[in-house]
Amino acid sequence: MERHKSRKPKETIQKIKGFLKKINLDVFEHEMQNTEEFYSVLLQVSGSTLFVNGKGTTAEYAKASAYGELMERILTGILFRYQLITPETMIYQDQNFHFNDTYNLKDSVALVGKQISKQDAQDIQQYFFSATEKRLVMEEYQELQQDQAIELPIALVDAMYSSNGMAYGNDFYEASVQAMSEIFERYINRKILIDEDVPPILTNWQDYVDSELTDKIEKLLEKHQLTLEVRDCSMGSQYPVVGIVVRNEANHYFVKFGAHFTFTVALERCFTELFQGRNMEMDFWKAPVYDYSDEFIQRNLERTMKDGDGFYPASFFEQVEDVDKLNFFFGASNEEAYNTFLEQLKTFSSPIYFKDYTIADHTVVRYIVPEISNVNVDIMKVKSWYQDSFYQTRTLTSFLGLTQKERTAFFDYLEERQIDDGQLLHRLMKRPVSFNPSFDYLTITYLKGIHHSLDGELELGAEYLKNYPLIAANYRLFKENHEKIKTKEQLIRVIEKMLCYPKVYQGELYVGKSRLTYSQAIKETQQDVLFGLDIVDKAG
């Protein structure tokens, strides 16, 4: 099966491993996951919570995918920005960034699609960068249609576009085709979610697909008793996008999209994306329900664009047209597809911002197309989400020291935002946490138990904590010895020790002696990587 890669996956892996060694970055390969020959693997930066995923229809392709994604995120710097607020010293150290006192309102409006003040841009920047002076961190791109340089506030780029439109490749055309394919894929996904477009079902998809892939798909469907719809998402042969709707026996569904200039590879990507970080033992299926509120639609869009895990409107499943003819040709090579894709992007009448991050023979590119490649819709809504995230993180990490009034206000806030008691605590925090069985499954219900315990309402506390076996067992001892606790400080220490509430020690979160966060380690890793990149770049 031809995947149009200019190097074999083993060669790509070896090349990237050599580069990582040069910049002194150590990574750990987690166990390969295999779901009927759809493979996925997690690659983690040692001693940190930094990780990437890879996927493919062979173990080697999955591993090459993971290493390629790691390189993409290293060279663009995005590996760190969503996990850590970058210190000012590292902004100066990163050759991609610089400070600028000038704020170009016209360029910013074009970038985010609405009026946004310099102050709002600075407020959003606080989520990614720590800067003492009120200046914006900028990055230079090339505006392709006008062939001129343009400076973009990188925090606005991160907020609206996430990692969309960036890719690693073995050469320029391979990387560019992958980056633009991702833009088309998410553009179609967004049109379905926001505009409720309904692509037709291709009833005879097997006629257009390599037999090797067909066999894998049919084996998967038969073994797990699944049904499949393949959707022609090319919208009249305009876009290289395919979609799938997979349903289980309970009629719950999961939707995935894939893009490539060949139909076979585009369909293959639907399935490899489906099983990236998932397997059939996990409950990832979606019930056929949908909330048409504006808040749900935007949150669902963000989750779907970033994590590929979302709900779809009823219109996507109802009165869908069947077709048996497919016109899906966008070129016979990466170079041909690059030219086709670029011309298609130009038809949107939006500026195309481009940056080449290539170092040595490692090619990473990025394309930004306003109103097309953005994964979020409303920049001010994103700003409010960031403010919520800061408030949630600050409250949860200091919860034991808050007054009753402050704690009650937090629960009122959660209720106003319809965050139910089953929400996991670590999902409310900006700070990434490593897996810990004593913390990962704690929810708002647990937090309410701690809240009542702090107020001496022990029966209520016990009721909220009864479904956490270890904590419930400790709670009986906690109740028996409660009268011996004389001060607030003693109470806090006991709750941290017996009831597993995270404590802050030297800037990191711990449950007992188990470390949850690695902020300092990530800072040190980022500094080492920037230093290593500078050396490699100067060496040519």
Give pLDDT tens digits for 17-42.
999 999 999 999 999 999 989 999 99
CA-to-CA distance for 424 and 439, rounded, in angstroms?
Answer: 9
DSSP character at residue 362: B
The pTM of the full predicted model, rounded to 2 decimals, is: 0.92
Q: Are residues 195 and 124 in the same domain?
A: no
* Residues 144 and 186 placed together within one structural domain of the fold: no
Residues 122 and 191 in one domain: no
Structure tokens at 61: 């392709």
**Residue 41: strand pairing partners:** 54
Instruction: Assess whether 340 and 213 both reside in one domain.
Output: yes
Answer yes or no: is 534 within a domain. Answer: no
Identify which of 14, 13, 59, 67 has the alpha carbon closest to the alpha carbon of residue 40: 59
Are 218 and 246 contained in the same domain?
yes
Residue with tokens 């477009």: 197
Instruction: Classify residue 533: in a domain, yes or no.
Output: no
360 plus 390 within the same structural domain? no
Q: What is the pLDDT of residues 4-19, one digit of tens each?
A: 898 999 999 999 999 9
244/270 same-domain check: yes
255 in the same domain as 154: no
Q: What count of residues does the chain have? A: 540
Q: Can you tell me the distance from the alpha carbon of 478 to that of 483, in angstroms, rounded to the nearest whole number?
A: 9
What domain range includes position 402?
384-430+443-501
- Phi, psi angle pair for 247, to nearest 5°: -125, 145
Domain membership of residue 71 (yes or no) is no
pLDDT in tens, 146-189: 999 999 999 999 999 999 999 999 999 999 999 999 999 999 99
Does residue 472 have a pLDDT over 70?
A: yes
Domain identity same for 276 and 179: yes
94 or 372, which is more confident: 372
* pLDDT at residue 332 is higher than 90: yes
Name the domain count of the chain. 3
Last residue of a domain, one of 137, 161, 185: 161
